[in-house]
Structure 1
Amino acid sequence: MITYKSQHLTFFMPEAIEGAGTNFFDTGISAGFPSPAEDFKEQRLSLDDELVKNKEATFYAKVSGQSMIGAGLDDNDLLVIDRSLEPANNKIAVCFLDGEFTVKRLRVSNGEVWLQPENPNYPIIKITEDNNFVIWGIVTNVIKKVY
């Protein structure tokens, strides 16, 4: 597995393993009242098959920090990032800004680009010609640990 660490994100490149998968019970698990398990079917499920649409352009990265908690991205969450998707207003993007990677919501208006955090304790960043700025990829999924 290839990894790269910056101050705010740690990147991982997915490694596809043929035939890999985890047990998947296709019954629907009730979050309300329990239901009897009538047709209890077990299948194999690959999260890469479910979460990754373009394997050559997809990376994983761990979040470090609290600037996106309002969007549900918490410290140590694992992001699925697709570099083949077109950036657009309101998308959550991983950006390379002045030598560091960051994850923020894109705001595009009147030819201007802003990086908006989802935490009021962090400032909105206006991108100017003076910035070294690249939209590196679009976040498609987030994987959380539930303790």
Structure 2
Amino acid sequence: MSSAEIYRIDELSAHGAATVLVPLMGPSLCAGFPSPADDFVENALELPRWLVPNPPATFLWRIAGDSMRDAGIFDGDLACVDRSLKPGHGSVVVAAVDGEMSIKRMVLEGNRARLAFDNADLPVYALEELTEAAIWGVVRFTVRWHVAGAGQRR
């Protein structure tokens, strides 16, 4: 059994008083084909401690693009990425592909791993044989605004 604490929704307010600051990375994380971008901490967002079990290893990225829409991850969402989690088959991960950060689905086929889009309308994401790819972290959860324009930069 995992040592992680599990709360019912009605218990969260009692445990939600403690908060942590989570760095918001910029520019946006590419949810499509990688595009040139420099990593930097843009700001920080205060989140309840129970959402962020490992604050030093946790970062937020704003999503740009629609390659992960079938996973329920859309343009403008925030992805909470935990670098301490071990990715497995089906994990949504942030990967550095030739030095460019992007979000993909990790698929294990036998003893080989590949990265995939999660949008049936897009072609298969192919990594060239000499491509350098490294898993940077695992997406723990995403945040989506349902009020028009609420998640946009001002």
Same fold flag (TM > 0.5): yes
Question: 1:121 matched to which residue of 2?
Answer: 121
Question: What is the TM-score normalised by the length of structure 2?
Answer: 0.66
Residue 13 to residue 7, structure 1, CA distance change in 2 (3 Å): closer
| Cα pair 1:14 1:55 within 8 Å, conserved | no
The number of residues matched between the two structures is: 118
Task: Report if the CA contact (8 A) 1:63-1:79 is conserved.
Answer: yes
Contact 1:11 1:59 in 2 (8 A): no
The two structures have a TM-score, normalised by structure 1, of 0.69
Which residue matches 1:4? Answer: 26
CA deviation after TM superposition for structure 1 residue 49, in Å? 1.0
Number of the residue aligned with 1:40: none
Distance 1:7-1:84 versus aligned 2 partners, 3 A rule? closer
Q: Which has the larger radius of gyration?
A: 1
Residues 111, 8 of structure 1: alpha-carbon distance in 2 compared, 3 angstrom cutoff: same
Q: CA RMSD in A?
A: 2.6
Tell me which amino acid in the other structure corresponds to 1:132. E
The 2-side partners of 1:4 and 1:134 are apart by 19
Is the 8 Å Cα contact of residues 28 and 61 (structure 2) preserved in structure 1? no
Alignment deviations for residues 77-131 of structure 1 (CA, whole Å, 9 cap, x no partner): 0010000001111100000101211111100112222212111222333446511
SS at structure 2 position matched to 1:125: coil
Aligned-residue offset at 1:67: 0.3
Asked if the contact 1:59–1:82 (Cα under 8 Å) also holds between the matched residues in 2, the reply is yes
Aligned match of 1:38: none
Q: In 1, distance between residues paired with 2:106 and 2:24?
A: 27
- What's the counterpart of residue 51 of structure 1? 51
| Residues in 1 aligned to 2:123 and 2:141: alpha-carbon distance in whole angstroms | 24
Tell me how far 1:13 sits from its aligned partner: 7.5
Distance 1:106 1:7, change over 3 A: closer
Query: 2:71 — aligned with what?
Result: 71
- Contiguous gaps of at least 5 residues in structure 2: 1-22, 32-38, 148-154
AA in 2 matched with 1:73: I
CA contact (8 A) 1:14 1:59 kept: no
